């Protein structure tokens, strides 16, 4: 019976791995934060105040869906700060004279035609001198037709795939806004029985100018923004191998009688892990830079961060193995399998359960997020939450290792036991 049960193991492994990769089966973007800065002051037309910007913003919010989260900001400083802090993947900015310029083309044509009608009436004598004086006194200035301006900002950098989705969506939105304004202008001409001059058709059909700005633009030879995910497994496997080697040496250590012997052994082991992490990380980054041709924005800071990550992961693994033994390896690898998709996929493309309950405490997610900021956003290496996480791992590993050295007895070797 046991022999037949063994055949269930591959099926069980398959089911476990299938569950582990669940987030990658049907990733759908959700709650992509896009800021809206509406600086439009509006315009007064025939005694009525019109604000095209407010109308557009209200429509965008009403017609929203789960894919995008529109965040209205009040000024440019708040927008720039939000983009710098990666709160927003993109932004849409409407200029101060948006309404004025958006309606200027139709207003210019209508008012020009009306003035022609008035001149014709004056020439025909249909208007009295008093009426002429009144019309001349109250005649409004014909606006100079200009295109309304919008600015689309895409915060590329560490957002990668999500930034592309945001850019495509903002492109469609600006096209829709331009078409809506063109339709409103055409409707205004129809209501006033005015024909569109042929020489103004192009400007009338395209009443909006869109300025495109890309922040932290991903360069060539930067893995299309996916280097954070690509650099996860090499660092983890290096840490795992370092931890296993350290534990093997610890398991096969000789007798440590005096406190001095134990202190020297602990110091040598910890220094060996630190030294191997430093040498390995800088060699890894220089290999990627000079051999593979990856374009690092800040190679030294990235190498130092990876060194700290290897130290943290290695000592975490070693600290667990010091008490659990080799049984810690499959547990940790299983944890990696269940975390890898949550770590490498953009957080906005993960199921809501993962976003709320897995990412906040997952160390691999925080490692990849900080790495992407170093690679693409130009963020300085500081003592942020991820760095403190690695400090905790290092302290845990050292304390666990030291405790095991002082409390666990060395198993007698077969040759020594025979004596």
Tokens matching residue 189? 């001409």
Tens digits of per-residue pLDDT, 406-419?
998 776 555 444 44
Q: Which of 10-14, 45-49, 53-57, 61-65 has the highest mean pLDDT?
A: 53-57
* Confidence at residue 161, expressed as pLDDT on a 0 to 100 scale: 83
Least confident of 181-195, 220-234, 347-361: 181-195
Nearest to 50 by CA among 99, 86, 109, 95: 99
Residue 110 binned pLDDT confidence (cut-offs 50, 70, 90)? low
Give me the pLDDT at residue 4, please. 64
| Average pLDDT, integer, range 16-21 | 70
Is the pLDDT at 136 greater than 80? The verdict is: no
Residue 77: exposure state from Cβ atoms within 10 A (0-12, 13-18, ≥19): exposed
What's the chain's average pLDDT?
A: 84
Distance between CA atoms of residues 355 and 346, nearest Å:
10
Confidence of residue 346 (pLDDT cuts 50, 70, 90): confident
Determine which of 3-12, 229-238, 298-307, 350-359 has the lowest per-residue pLDDT on average. Answer: 3-12
131 has a pLDDT exceeding 60: no
What does the pLDDT look like over 257-292, one tens digit per residue?
788 999 999 999 999 999 999 999 999 999 999 999
Q: Mean of the pLDDT values across residues 174-185?
A: 86
Sign of CA dihedral 97, 100, 103, 109: negative
Convert 334-373 to b/e letters by CB count within 10 Å (16 or more is b): eebebbbbbbbbbbbbbbeebbeebbeebbbbbbbbbbbb
pLDDT number for residue 419: 44
Contact 176, 154 (CB under 8 A): no
Residue 93, classed as helix, strand or coil, is: strand
Higher pLDDT among residues 162 and 49, named by residue: 162
pLDDT for residue 417: 45
Q: What whole-number distance in Å separates Cα of residue 311 and Cα of residue 305? A: 10
Question: Which domains are present in the chain?
Answer: 27-215 (3.40.1710.10), 223-410 (no CATH)
More confident residue, 129 or 168: 168
pLDDT recorded at residue 94: 93
Q: For residue 48, is pLDDT > 80?
A: no
> Rounded to two decimals, what is the model's pTM?
0.82
343-357 average pLDDT score = 82
What percent of the chain is predicted at pLDDT more than 70? Answer: 84
pLDDT given for residue 373 in this prediction: 92
Of 43-52, 106-115, 359-368, 394-403, the one with minimum mean pLDDT is: 106-115
pLDDT tens digit string along 317-341? 999 999 999 999 989 988 888 888 7
pLDDT value at residue 159: 81
Of 19-33, 43-57, 185-199, 379-393, give the range with the top mean pLDDT. Answer: 379-393
* Higher pLDDT, residue 414 or 381: 381
Tell me the per-residue pLDDT of 188-225, one tens digit each, with 9 for 90 and over. 777 777 776 666 666 677 888 899 999 988 888 888 88
Region 128-133: mean pLDDT is: 57
Between the two ends of the chain, the Cα-to-Cα distance in Å is 44
- What pLDDT band is residue 370 in, cutting at 50, 70 and 90? very high
């Amino acid at each position: 019976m046991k022999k037949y049960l063994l055949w269930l193991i591959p099926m069980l492994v398959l089911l476990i791995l299938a569950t582990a990769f669940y987030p990658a089966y049907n990733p759908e973007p959700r709650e992509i934060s896009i800021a809206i800065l509406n600086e439009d002051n509006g315009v007064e037309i025939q005694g009525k105040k019109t604000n095209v910007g407010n109308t557009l913003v209200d429509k965008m919010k009403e017609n929203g869906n789960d894919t995008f989260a529109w965040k209205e900001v009040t000024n440019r400083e708040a927008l720039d700060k939000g983009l710098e802090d990666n709160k927003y993947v993109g932004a849409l900015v409407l200029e101060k004279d948006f309404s004025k310029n958006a309606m200027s083309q139709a207003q210019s044509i209508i008012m020009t035609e009306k003035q022609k009608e008035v001149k014709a009436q004056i020439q025909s004598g249909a208007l009295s001198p008093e009426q002429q004086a009144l019309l001349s006194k109250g005649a409004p200035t014909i606006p100079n037709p200009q295109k309304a301006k919008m600015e689309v900002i895409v915060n590329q950098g560490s957002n990668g795939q999500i930034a592309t989705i945001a850019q495509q969506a903002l492109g469609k939105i600006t096209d829709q806004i331009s078409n809506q304004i063109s339709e409103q202008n055409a409707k205004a001409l129809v209501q006033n029985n005015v024909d569109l001059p042929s020489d103004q058709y192009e400007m009338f059909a395209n009443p909006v100018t869109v300025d495109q700005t890309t922040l932290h633009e991903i360069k060539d030879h930067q893995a299309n923004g996916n280097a954070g995910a690509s650099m996860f497994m090499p660092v983890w496997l290096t840490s795992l191998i370092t931890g296993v080697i350290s534990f093997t040496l610890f398991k096969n250590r000789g007798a440590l009688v005096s406190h001095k012997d134990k202190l020297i052994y602990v110091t040598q082991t910890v220094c060996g892990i630190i030294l191997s992490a430093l040498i390995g990380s800088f060699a890894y980054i220089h290999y990627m830079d000079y051999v593979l041709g990856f374009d690092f924005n800040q190679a030294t800071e990235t190498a130092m961060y990876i060194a700290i990550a290897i130290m943290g992961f290695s000592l975490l693994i070693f600290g667990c193995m010091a008490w659990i033994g080799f049984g810690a390896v499959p547990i940790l690898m299983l944890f990696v399998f269940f975390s890898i998709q949550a770590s490498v996929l953009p957080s906005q493309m993960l199921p809501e359960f993962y976003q709320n309950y897995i990412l906040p405490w997952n160390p691999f997610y925080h490692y990849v997020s900080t790495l992407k900021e170093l690679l693409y956003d130009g963020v300085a290496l500081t003592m942020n939450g991820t760095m403190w996480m690695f400090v905790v791992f290092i302290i845990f590993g050292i304390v666990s290792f030291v405790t095991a050295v002082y409390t666990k007895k060395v198993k007698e070797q077969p040759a020594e036991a025979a004596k």
